[in-house]
Structure formats: C-alpha cells, structure tokens
Amino acid sequence: MSSTISTSRTNHLSSLAFHEKDRVEPVCKKQLADWGIDYFDLYLMHFPIAQPYVDPAEKQPIGFTQDDNGKALQGKAPIQETWQAMEKLVDNGLAKSIGISNFQGSLIIDLLRYARVRPAVLQIEHHPYLVQPQLIQLAKSEGIAVTAYSSFGPVSYHELDMKKALDAPVLFENPVIKKIAEAHGKTPAQVLLRWSTQRGIAVIPKSNNPQRLQQNLDVGSFDLTEAEINEISGLDRHLRFNDPMDVSCLSDFEYPEASD
Ligand SMILES: NC(=O)c1ccc[n+]([C@@H]2O[C@H](COP(=O)([O-])OP(=O)(O)OC[C@H]3O[C@@H](n4cnc5c(N)ncnc54)[C@H](OP(=O)(O)O)[C@@H]3O)[C@@H](O)[C@H]2O)c1
C-alpha cells in the first residue's frame, strides 16, 4: 500500500461491546446496511480491549460502558476470538481486508502467531509528539501498512476538553514546524502530514472546512529533506492522548506533566 490519503470504504468494529465471536458478523452486516454497500475494503478492530455486550436497541450511541463509579467495564472476549470472527468476514465476502488499531508491538506479535488472515493495516495515533519508530518498523517488516490518525497531535483532542491535550503545546505553533513550513511555502498542517507520508505512513485527516480539506489533499507536491524529517521526529515526547489503558482499568489515572 502506498502512502496516501485514504478514500477506501473503511469501517471499524466500532464499539468495544461487539468483540464476542457471535457479535462480530451481525454488527458488520448492520454497518454495511447503514452504508448501503455489500462489503468493506477494510474492517478494523478499533481497540485491543473488549467491553461487555450492549444491545444497540437499548443504548445509542453505545460509547464506553462504565460502572457507577465511572470505571470502564471489562468484556470477556480475548483478542484471538475477535480476530478469528473478523477472519470469517473475509471468508464470507463482507470485508476485503481486516486490520487492527491502537495495538502495540507485543500484541501484534501475538496476533501474528494465530492469524490465518494477516492484518493488512495498523491504524495508530501518530504525530511528532508520539513517533513510535519501533512499532512502525515492526509493522513494516511484517508487511502491515501503517495509517496515522491525530496527525496534528493535541488539537484533535481539544474538543474533548482533555487536560493532557490542552496543556500540550500546539504543534502548528511549534518553531521547528513553523520554520520548515515557511521554508517550503506550506502550512504547518501540510508539513505534519508530509512528515508522515514521506515516511510511508498513510494519513486520514478530517476537517469540516473546505479550504483545509483542499490543503490536506495537497501534501504530495513538496518533499521534506532528510534533515527536516529527522528534526521533526526529534520533537518526540512519547505523549499519547488516546490510550487503550484509559478505557481498560485506569480511567482515573493522573498523567505526570510532559517535560520538554
Ligand atoms: N482508530 C482510532 O482509535 C481513531 C481515533 C481517532 C480518530 N480516528 C480517525 O482518524 C480520522 C481523523 O480524525 P482525528 O481525530 O485524527 O482528527 P484530525 O485529522 O487530527 O483533525 C483534528 C482537527 O484538526 C483540524 N484540521 C484539519 N485539517 C486542518 C488544517 N489543514 N489546518 C488546521 N487545522 C486542521 C480539524 O478542524 P476543522 O474541522 O475546523 O478544520 C479537526 O477537527 C477520522 O477518520 C477518525 O475516525 C481513529
């Protein structure tokens, strides 16, 4: 898969409440019916964590289920069970490819031990504050294409009022990003997207603004130098905003302040 802005019909096993083997195909079929299509090009396991089943007729949107103290509830389905149910989506023509999201390296290595259908794609949070070179190298060495979400870092989480994101310096204002953008006559957003695509990582930025949508599509018309790419990668702070651990058991965990 080349580095690209994705236009394929991709969908997620969107709720963690459908990880049990008998739940996967019905929810996929419901999503296909909602879209009015026969199959997905790519169907992803959204999170490596299961929650208990929730009947969609009783709760919409399903979101995360929590106990009375606000702690996320755990489901019983192990990843292997969910993956094997997703493999059957490929067997039955409901998905051309299947993939994973928010998986770390050891989970990928484990999944590859039993996968009859290998994951085509790994979708991860990826921006200069969270570079994850080892994870990306592992995926590439296993022939798994990497897709980045939250390419602009903290701004993706501002609308959620997430303190960790509100406290983090905005990448668009970062002097390194601004300097490189000015050198190429591009916007900081375009530099952030090009930094990914030039390293073989697909990007899927979203915007409600037509000018920014246009801008985000125009990221193949310039090349960063290797020194510029390395300078941007050097901004790494191992700062993750969408952490599966937050929805598993540590929802009240207080993160230490990020250091410069
Ligand atoms: N697998 C997962 O767990 C996961 C998690 C999160 C997101 N995703 C997926 O990733 C995709 C992108 O979502 P995201 O949350 O990562 O959002 P994003 O692409 O990081 O966009 C965040 C915000 O940036 C702004 N923006 C977009 N282009 C811009 C530009 N050129 N200049 C300045 N600001 C710009 C947008 O605001 P405006 O609308 O005002 O332009 C948008 O609200 C979605 O398809 C989403 O479903 C997946």
- Could you tell me the CATH number of the domain that includes residue 77? 3.20.20.100
pLDDT tens per residue across span 164-217: 999 999 999 999 999 999 999 999 999 999 999 999 999 999 999 999 999 999
Ligand 1 atom 46 nearest Cα: 149
Confidence band, pLDDT 50/70/90 cuts, at residue 7: very low
Give residue 128's Cα distance to chain centre: 15
Question: Residue 33: inside a domain, yes or no?
Answer: yes
Question: Residue 101: inside a domain, yes or no?
Answer: yes
Ligand 1 atom 4 nearest Cα: 149
Is pLDDT above 60 for 103? Answer: yes
d(CA 132, CA 146): 11
Mutate to test the pocket of ligand 1, among 147, 156, 166 (most ligand atoms within 8 A of CB): 156
Question: Residue 32: inside a domain, yes or no?
Answer: yes
175-184 helix and 226-233 helix, angle to the nearest 10 degrees: 160
Mutate to test the pocket of ligand 1, among 31, 150, 162, 192 (most ligand atoms within 8 A of CB): 150
d(CA 222, CA 7): 21
| Side-by-side strand order, sheet with 202-203 | 10-13, 40-45, 95-101, 121-125, 145-149, 202-203
Question: Residue 84: inside a domain, yes or no?
Answer: yes
Question: Residue 207: inside a domain, yes or no?
Answer: no
Question: Residue 5: inside a domain, yes or no?
Answer: yes
CA of 150 to the centre of ligand 1 (A): 6
196 Cβ inside 6 Å of ligand 1: no
Indicate the number of domains in the chain: 1
d(CA 45, CA 43): 7
d(CA 235, CA 237): 6
CA of 207 to the centre of ligand 1 (A): 6
Question: Residue 200: inside a domain, yes or no?
Answer: no
Per the prediction, the chain carries an average pLDDT of 89
Question: Residue 223: inside a domain, yes or no?
Answer: no
